[in-house]
Amino acid sequence: MPENKYNCKFRGEVCRGHRERRNGYRAVTLWFTGLSGAGKSTLAHAVEKRLFELGANVYVFDGDNVRHGLCGDLSFSAEDRAENIRRIGEMTKLFLDAGTICLCAFITPRSGVREQLRNMHEPDDFFLVHVDCPVEVCESRDVKGYYKLAREGKIKNYTGINAPYDPPESPDLRIDSDAESLLESVNRVLAFLADKIALPEA
């Protein structure tokens, strides 16, 4: 069981260390970055299911549950996309403080924004997972039909088509979602986590 290295930052009598001792593992954020269609949310939800079955407190954040609520006032301009990510980062820091493992699935195309996220966190709290997949494969899947619209010029600033994606130079974990099965990817994420957070029975 991890030592309580966290002091109560606020005046609460229950702090992160208490929660982590009770849980038996550390809370961390895995931030899944990659192109639309690369399989970030699919992987995050599959990891969530496995962790939940192990008894962990875990939650997935993606566009589906954040964009309409907390960030419903934001557009897809570069500035608003950065603010979107900032708010999510600040929110998930409170989830970490509450002892919850955070699985965040967002394109997060710019390396500067990813660095900003990393700098917002303590070093052992944040890990970047690159869900890597060739844009041609993502485009051929085109689950939401957005790649087609972007090619036709009907969507502007679409990452990989008419907006840049900076491939991470040194992600903490790299998943090749085109070559690996989902099960293989989940197993690799779980092995990574087990090493980092003393996961129970993983």
- The amino acid present at 1, given as its one-letter code, is M
Is residue 66 within the footprint of a second copy (CB under 8 A)? Answer: yes
Interface region with a second copy, contact rule CB under 8 A, candidates 16-24, 130-138, 159-167, 185-193: 16-24
Q: Which two tokens stand for residue 137?
A: 């494969």
Q: Give the shortest CB-89-to-a second copy separation in angstroms.
A: 9
Q: What is the rounded CA–CA span in Å between residue 167 and residue 158?
A: 15
Q: What is the rounded CA–CA span in Å between residue 201 and residue 153?
A: 50
Q: Give the shortest CB-34-to-a second copy separation in angstroms.
A: 17
Is residue 151 within the footprint of a second copy (CB under 8 A)? Answer: no
Own/partner long-range contacts of 144-148 (Cβ < 8 Å, ≥24 apart)? 144/36, 144/37, 146/36, 147/36, 147/37
Is residue 143 within the footprint of a second copy (CB under 8 A)? Answer: no
Q: Give the shortest CB-70-to-a second copy separation in angstroms.
A: 4
Is residue 29 within the footprint of a second copy (CB under 8 A)? Answer: no
Is residue 9 within the footprint of a second copy (CB under 8 A)? Answer: yes
152 near 171, Cβ under 8 Å?
Answer: no
Q: What is the rounded CA–CA span in Å between residue 158 and residue 151?
A: 9
Site residues (vs a second copy, CB under 8 A):
9-14, 18-19, 22, 41, 45-46, 48-49, 52, 57-62, 64-66, 69-70, 72-73, 83, 87, 90-91, 93-95, 97-100
